[in-house]
Amino acid sequence: MPAGRKIALVSGGSRGLGATLITGFLDRRYAVATLSRTKTAFISDTMRKRRQFLWRCVDGRDPEALLGFVREVGERFGRIDVLVNNAAIAVEGILSTMQTREIVETVEANLTAALVLARACSRFMLRQGSGCIVNISSVHALRGHSGVAVYSATKAALDGLTRSLARELGPRQIRVNSVAPGFFESDMVAAMSKDQKERIARRTPLRRLARVDEIANVVQFLASDQASFITGQTLVVDGGITC
């Protein structure tokens, strides 16, 4: 490992925002570790082309597997400088008609996994006396929408985690922030009809949905030294839809 190279761990890096984040960190000369339940073409291609890249097939609902992955990252790279809690599943449906299993699995994947990863990675950061955690929240955590109560609850919890953990870790120079994206090209948006997307764009002051790189750039900013005095914040990137 070259001296001075930083290490970023990104959960849910097989596609979408996670894949864009991985590419961005690698381009900034970070070593990057990621986990996902599936090995996509992006993962295979990155493993072939980038030496400082580690991927493992891990189910985020399995705490022991998550802890094992963090241990492996620590053993291979020696430190963890950045954690991005990006992995999440989007479940839609009216709460009164949802199955208990769907509720539990969403909480495990979206919230419990983030807590487990934050605990494990923060132990490395505490030994280092530095580090950065970025939680990927959502505008659904800030404004109510029918049909996404469970998803919204998990994202609102991440924002609460951000504020409290920033207090806990700040004295050791570890920053914790959230990014709350609005609607951008993702699995959730891909399931929408053209009319739904157009309605969202009309309600958005900038009159469009975000590009995935516009979300990733904000995460990269918060992980950089340019944001060295920003902690405990939720940065909303939604084109003004919640203003």
Catalytically annotated residue among 53, 151, 183, 184: 151
State yes or no: is 30 an active-site residue. Answer: no
The alpha carbon dihedral of 132, 12, 88, 216 has a sign of positive
Q: In 3D, which of 58, 174, 154 has the Cα closest to residue 114? A: 154
Tell the residue number behind the tokens 């990927």, with chain if given: 136
Q: Could you tell me where the beta strands, DSSP code E, fall in the chain?
A: 7-11, 31-36, 53-57, 82-85, 131-136, 174-181, 234-237
Distances (CA, A) of 63 to 56, 100, 111, 167: 14, 20, 11, 24
What amino acid positions are annotated as catalytic residues? Answer: 151
